[in-house]
Structure 1
């Protein structure tokens, strides 16, 4: 009699538990089960119910895409659909994104997917991408390539070493948190770019911009108008039930000083939206 192949769900679940640094007892308490049952699931001696897998996924804060992977590994149907932004039932989401991007003008804003590929952006974002060579814009611009590649924004930064360190640290944290192989591949690529030397010369910062501020590493970009200094915040959708929506993030840039704010207001109407 042919034996059944071992289930993949146990090893996957154990990998997520270890990534989140939970003991079996700690996770079982959060998921309202027993440590013994959890041990049996991880070793393949017990088949978890669909409800149990969803409870464990919630306790471990597993991304929706990977929750579907866990369910499929246990021979259950995925719990979360993955839709394009052009799907009819995503119309309210697309409208919300458009509203946020428009309202944020004249400051740059961009929507990215889980691998930091640009989905869309507002007009001021196009100003930051001015002069970026075509090979970094196709098939889709990627934020980490745009900023860290020697042919990209890196050559126009006044603090490229600081930005490189900040971006690589951010991406590596995301790799460890998600275990996403595509993010790991992106990290391996961009961390292999040659490390830039700190910029010398170029336009002097506007008066007052050297005063220490609340942002440790601002994005300092040299432009014909002078040095623009910005920081960013990230926004995501609360309680998403769609894989695509759960992986979208909106990065909103703000000026660090009055000079940058005035320059962005003056330039804001000169470019169309990105994407």
Structure 2
């Protein structure tokens, strides 16, 4: 049910391991240099190009990466910014370099985030009758509107117990999976998305979630290869059955620009837009 794409995204790589809470922590003595080099190579940026972006020299970047020079806290943050390193991983780089984390990780229920939560609720409620939800870094649902509740009608209570997880709800054989008419394509899309996230975020919980949902049995095709119907050329739709009707959605993701908090950086708002007039008409009539 979710399709997550972000320039700051999230299989394992050398240099760090993941703690049980999803926070990346350094492996024994890797040094910050090799980790910065790993991020630079991931971004396909040369030492010279990175130096020009960061106002440094290729020689100094080389010295930092090989451990011949210890970067200042400001330099670690500057290089991480120009390499588009996720906020959580920037804290990990600082720890390895011997500095304190720079970005806080405020619990979502903290009063300091009251305005943020209220804004997100207004946003997804304003999107009704179309489905919209907010997920965190491991696809746990932190907010959802009535459009999502409609799609979840008939899902067993055992799967709706908190914390709700968008991937489990979508791919579980007793969840939405049996009702998704183009399940092979949508399932493959979701796995590819999670793989991209795992490649960026060294998160043990995210890897565990991937392994769990990948092991779910795929429901039998009850529709005998029913034609998919017209498909938008600009995006893969999710075609799902609801109360005997086939609804078609395309999804989009919104994340926060320049987040200064780990929790906020890892939130994403996913909205599902009708891919055809029939779906839009059905949703409006169903909620009127």
Would you say same fold, with TM above 0.5?
Answer: yes
- CA-to-aligned-CA distance 1:192-218 (integer Å, 9 cap, x gap): 33345544169x99xxx9334344421
Q: Aligned partners of 1:11 and 1:135: how far apart in 2?
A: 45
Scaled by the length of structure 1, the TM-score of the pair is 0.86
Distance in structure 2 (CA, Å) of the matches to 1:180 and 1:135 = 26
Question: Is 1:26–2:49 an aligned residue pair?
Answer: yes
In the TM superposition, what whole-angstrom CA distance separates every residue of 1:35-85 from its partner, at most 9, and x where no partner exists?
A: 222222222222110110011110110111111111111221211111123
Counterpart residue number, 2:10: none
SS of residue in 2 equivalent to 1:253: strand
2:235–2:250 CA contact under 8 A, matched in 1: no
The runs of 5 or more residues in structure 1 that have no matched partner are 270-275
- Secondary structure of the residue aligned to 1:84 is coil
- Whether 1:43 and 2:62 are equivalent positions in the alignment is no
Q: TM-score, normalised by structure 2?
A: 0.82
Partner of 2:102: 79
Q: State the shift of 1:160 in Å.
A: 0.7
Residue aligned with 1:193, SS: coil
Matched-pair contact (CA < 8 Å) for 1:161–1:197: no
CA distance in structure 1 between the aligned counterparts of 2:41 and 2:220, rounded to whole angstroms:
38
2:209 to 186, 190, 200: 186
Larger radius of gyration: 1
- Superposition pairs of residues 246-257 of structure 1, within 5 angstroms: 246-257=265-276
| Higher relative contact order (Cα pairs below 8 Å, separated by 6+ residues) | 2
* Counterpart-to-counterpart distance in 1, 2:53 and 2:94: 19
- In the alignment of these two chains, the number of paired residues is 261
Q: d(CA) in 2 for partners of 1:132 and 1:161?
A: 20
Sort the Cα spacing of 1:127 and 1:179 in 2 relative to 1 into closer, same or farther, 3 A: same
Name the counterpart of 2:16: none
Please tell me the root mean square deviation across aligned C-alpha atoms, in Å. Answer: 2.4
- Aligned-partner Cα distance in 1 for 2:222–2:46: 47
Change in 2 beyond 3 A, CA 1:197/1:232: same
Q: 1:264/1:201 Cα in 2 relative to 1: closer, same or farther (>3 Å)?
A: farther
